A and B are shown apart, each in its own frame.
Chain A
Amino acid sequence: MSSASIIVVIVNILLAVVLAVGTTPIMVWWERRVAGFIQDRTGPNRCSIGGFRLGGVIQSFADMLKLVFKEDFAPSHIKYKFFYTIAPSIVFFCSFLTFAVIPFAAPLEIDGVSYMMQAIPTQLGIMWFLAYAGLAVYGIILGGYASENKYGLLSSIRATAQVVSYEAAMGLSIISMLVTYGTIHLSDMVAFQGGLIFGFIPAWGIILQPLAAIIFIVTAFAEANRAPFDIAEGESEIVAGYHTEYSAMRFGLFQVGEYAAMSASSAIIVTLFFGGYQIPWLDTAAIQSNIYIVIGAIIVSLIAMTFCLTKWMKKNNTWDDENDPRARETNVLVKAFWIMTVVVSLVLISFIVTGLGTNGVNIATAAIQIGTFLIKFFMMSLVFIWVRWTLLRFRYDQLQMLGWKVLLPLAILNIFITATFVVVVGS
């Protein structure tokens, strides 16, 4: 193995790990701030290290630190200690592994060797997703069962029924996507979405298959156990459901698993329906041939973004008491952001001035596509959070009704229409 291939593999694995697990504190922070803003509250905004609040993100790290150092307590009535212990790890690991097959960029070519930009370079991406997303619920079921708690058991039963009724519709909606794209390879699906329909509409999955997109997004919410389908947690009826008897980092693993599942779901939604790493109207070849124009556009937008951000911070990130260390934060951050922007812009300008080799162009393209994927990924996560703070939790019977009587027939109808169309048109 050359050093280039080792670096590519490490970068891919790091990306997958960071996006699946490392974003959890960010997601929790985001969830709480967005929830606050939606409900006209502030959310966490006080926790600071030396006056640096960073918009409240320090709070999530403090919470996490607390969970790690909390006493690892297990109730004495639990008979199956092994299952009780292993359940949170199953949730965590399955949600985490789901991320391994997401393509972050188009296959990267260095010195004539092509590397797939996935943590696990497999062709069977969508199968891997279905397998592990389904298995993550098993951890919830096991946790509720091993808790030896009526609420936990009720929650397990609900989770089981939910996964049975939603997995079917999810799988069927994916089948119609497979028929449309003609492949089960996630990277090929994204490459397909780089094209155009009628020459001007991006061929994104949501435009080709709006019905499948809606069904998949709804079932993905159920799969990730997020509101409005978080009846397994159902704190108004069954305390906290499957994690009633859990505390400290065992509970923390459930929490991380929940957010990792949310991240994985949004990543797969982006990959299947929102063009993955593709920039609309700019496929991989177009970026490579116009690399200097793209870099120039990035510099301009970077400066514009920093300008807006610093302006927003000066207006909103204030602290009444002048003597508090938190009052200094905005000034320091504004300077730091501008220095970072200038340094990055200078590096990019030096690329334009000196010119990039073939490898350089390919790597720059991959970096741009990873950035695009990240933007889409975080937007989709925002949608998850936004939906959670808008919609009410479904009642158990409504959930079953929606799954079996609405989503499943619609998914089958969609396969029928798609297959007929593909056979008639013959593409």
Chain B
Amino acid sequence: MAVKVVPRHGSSLKDKLYLPAIAGGMKTTFKHFVKNLKDTSNLRTVQYPEVQPTDITDRYRGVHRLTLREDESEKCVACYMCATACPAQCIAIEAEERTDGQDEKRPKKFSIDLLECVYCGYCVEACPCDAIRMDTGIFSLTGKTREEFVLNKEQLMANKRSKDFSDD
């Protein structure tokens, strides 16, 4: 194997003087300063609440939703797989018998405590029916009470796939 000689810097007089390098660095920062001062639209900062981020990808794990069948009823069969997989134990399910012939079982109550949730996505992985997804693209959820962060079945079913994401 050939020996690769890495050139060492810092031994020439110019390097030892420091000042040329400092001047070079100050030139760089000054260029940025002048460019941004002339036209503040060059700044990279997103003015967040007014301007929303546009770079949320399809794989982003946002707030959950329960997917729906053709007839707008829930896909979920209350198998408890998601609740079992959940490391934060934030999913609470109460099952009941389903009588409309679509399936045998449905959740009577299905709630997710988003203050407990760690957004790991294990529930989505565990679901055998593709009934729970995290593709709403909602990255910020605010509320004034703890209760507002516990989403019930109706709220979860009302959530839609983000419009910014490609159709699946």
Contacts and interface: CB of A to CB of B under 8 A. Distances in A.
Contacts, number: 49
A386 B51 contact: no
Contacts of A41: 43-45
A67 interface: no
A39 B30 CA distance: 10
A386 B30 contact: yes
B140 interface: no
Nearest to B44: A40
B139 interface: no
A14 to B, nearest CB: 31
Contacts of B36: 36-38, 40
Given A40-B43, A42-B43, A316-B40, A389 B29 contact: yes
Contact of A40 (B39, B42, B47): B42
Interface in A23-61: 34, 36-42
A387 interface: yes
A287 B44 CA distance: 46
Q: List the 7 shortest-distance A-B pairs measured between CB atoms, nearest first.
A: A37-B36, A316-B40, A42-B45, A390-B29, A40-B44, A38-B29, A37-B33
Interface residues of A, number: 18
A320 interface: yes
A315 interface: yes
A391 B29 CA distance: 10
Majority secondary structure, B binding face: helix
A321 interface: yes
Contact of B32 (A38, A214, A320, A321): A38
Contact of A38 (B33, B41, B45): B33
Contacts of A34: 33
Interface in A198-251: 214
B32 A40 contact: yes
B50 A39 contact: no
Nearest to B16: A406
B37 interface: yes
Interface of B: 19, 22, 25-26, 28-30, 32-33, 36-37, 39-45, 47, 50-51
B32 A391 contact: no
Interface of A: 34, 36-42, 214, 315-316, 320-321, 386-387, 389-391
7 contacts: A38-B36, A40-B43, A41-B44, A41-B45, A321-B50, A390-B28, A391-B25
Contacts of B42: 40
A320 B51 CA distance: 9
A11 B45 CA distance: 42
B122 to A, nearest CB: 36
B32 to A, nearest CB: 5
Nearest to B19: A214
Given A386-B26, A391-B25, 11 more contacts: A36-B45, A37-B32, A37-B37, A40-B45, A41-B43, A42-B45, A316-B39, A316-B41, A321-B50, A390-B26, A390-B29
B115 to A, nearest CB: 28
A153 B79 CA distance: 61
Nearest to A40: B44
B116 to A, nearest CB: 32
Contacts of B32: 37-40
A168 B50 CA distance: 54
A214 B45 CA distance: 36
A112 B33 CA distance: 48
